[in-house]
Structure 1
């Protein structure tokens, strides 16, 4: 899903200038409170398919029950969720209410690329006009935006509120408004979720597979080599991936092979694998994958890679919680290569460290409901961002070591060889980052490695710093 966009708060403002595309707002209804995980119909949505952008107090609405402050807000819905028929609604209640109100929203213009924007208004049962200063200091309005899917399920926006039953709160301390958070659900995913079918007949999964999110299938062509038909000397065969989503049963397919074509002429010798990108529909609970190799050009040749007819089956997970904590660092910069607690803020890389000592850093990560419930290592993107003399150098993957208590532990090895053959440098800075969705990252502190003059590649003009 392409979400490359920049959004200004000015675009997310009052909304009275927005063109209304359709008006689906209805009267205030009474609704059940969110029951995440309790009734099978409610879920936490953390994959940027529905996100509350802004809320602000606007006019005052006087009716038979009194004068109520009106609050106007904007919700962005992913194009994928919109295309699948999901509709945004908002539950709300004031501090004294015993039941939740439920309002629909109106589709308006002004959405960034990849989203559809909706506006909602809360016109009664919010905050009464004319209360005392003490009453205003106590008052608040809780909001729980959600997507209502075509199956009737409610997926509640938890992209900005972490707890499973947390709600947005509008109160006096916050100026009776909610502003956009530029760090939440803005921009393209930096890291993609993928299934990787290797030539060694192993399958690896990168990231949790999440409904409403993109997924890439990578397939090594050497797994199926039976059919390599040609026509007039040119490749005619194909190798296709099939993905079936459950419970809908919908099947999508696409080719995972392409050819290098020197001088515009494709050749079998130039066959190469290409990724197959799919969008996992909202509401999917599992998916099956299989592959078919066909000869083409009228050939009857067919071969299958389908886990002996059972297909490769993968669980589709709810949107995971965000990384909540990073810490408990450890390291080794000596010959015994054993971890000691703590990580130095600065390390000197000299000839001894290069040739005779280990050089690694470890850290632990906690994600509620993930790291404390298993030890697969699937679901957290763990990377090190490297900078040489202030300029970006590389982003490398951290090695998953296993579960420690309720945390997962990761290790980074100082890339001594790469640094030795890099252009001459003086200081390397590194910083670990962790994410469950590839968009929002929890970063550890930035640390440094300073080059000593004894760490020197003879090809450099000099060894001075």
Structure 2
């Protein structure tokens, strides 16, 4: 439908505005944004129940892409890991899931009646999903419920193609596809229809455009921003939101508003009447709905067919004609009850029940798109495959040849003799006499020259553990154990920046990414290193992240020490950027060990003791050396109490300092130790010691220093005068190294005299006493700043 509207700003009925939170200085006009598509989120929840009798029941189904999936699980299926600590449960069961294109991840399960339950968001682009369950406890017990290693697999129903409501820049409103109850509505709004409010502040946009809608008769309403930011380029984009149509809707009305920080406002609301569209009952025609359109495949034909996959733009060059080389594009469609029928001849079924064509600007009259037939090809799985040949479109039989250039096309299918159509994605094709790389805005053919240079490689990281968590840290050497292969993720990552490519959304396949290593299957280190391809992970700001999945190699290689480094090329391999150790081209190290007990750990003992009381201090060793020392500025730990004590009994005298340290239970890694560094004078000699404490209850440690010990059992005796001290927390990061976090008064350390400059309070302990410091002194400032 198309209706002409006058260019003016009208107040819409029931419109809603979102406040913009930026400063109001230096306001200037803003540039128009690009266009991007928003993800669909359905208000729908499927429920799967995994019962104790090992039956899996679909309580609510089917599972829908873009919706939610609730997993209910009987804990009796994994009964073995049930440790307790301090009288509390110290075990958990996690639900893991994965789907094509989505890395494995997990959700915690919480008690819900007699079951455990958790809910995950189903991605909008998946057709199947796998789940499994993992039970562990504090003491290292582990067990899995994974359908004997195959995982529990379930089909996912993809949403039908959305009906599009386009509000074009020429003030025409167009509808493509039928709005149906339970279907999807996609909003395409040209931002130039609302140009009144375009203020910026400090170079940042402080305006937005909002789409609002209301379904009738239910009154379901909402508002969404039309302008957003691209996660890769950080540029403004026009969003195309998709909205789930309620099952009871018979119509929908829409209106749009524009506002900015200055208070400016503008409206596009059909002169206050709003834009109204009818909603049809689901399957009103009785015809089966089109369920899905996709799996585009660009095919070239010479002596044999070459399937190039999802190539966009596709292309056809006239010089191929005498080669001979041909080209076509294939597209698949799934229509429940039609394409997946087990009876009848698929070609006859297609001819009787399916209309298939493309709309394209390669044919037509002026700006209007024309149509071109899609031919039935074959049945593949539960889908029908259709195609059209590019030479036939280029050289049309009636002589109206398509000029050189870049054209758009879109497949569409109908099951009601063309009364309604379901459309697929808009695609592109290039026609030219010979290869003309200038006609390709992106994704040019591989034979087009590439001259980009790799600008930077860095931000080494790793993806590891059962949850396949990414950590932007990478130890050198990186140690992997063969016993964890097959259970833990083992990927090493690095980010690369290539000006004009990674910062503009270029195809990652245009980048050659390799790992060079002497690690291989079934042997020790190679004499001559080999290379393996790196996998593209995702865009990160202006960079692309690539990963080396080393798990299979770790599982089959011999125990040993290996080398590796990454290399990248953006000019087809003519030049390479080598990424190795310390930002240079040196080799990084990877150690393969048998299990966690097979280590090369060193012991560090000098100047370290462990302290649990004035007469219980002993030499001590740790198996690590801190890789870095940092100020604990984020409430990682704080001193809860600090005392100086003394007692005398039976001819024995003792004096000491003690610190009670609270540790935040949420750490980025594992707590290795809590302790105190103390410098002191003894016999006229300045000394210092690292005193490791003891955990007296979860996340609460006691550490200290014996300052005086004489009499029976004291040996040569101790007489120390402390001059400075600080407390610390050692945390082993997920990358494997240990960092030491300090509470040290910003690096100036504390003195005993300053801590007791204000009189504390006395506490009796048998034949002695302890004076605890008043919390008004600076030692306790971190405790106060953490709100405790």
Greater RCO (CA < 8 Å, at least 6 residues apart)? 1
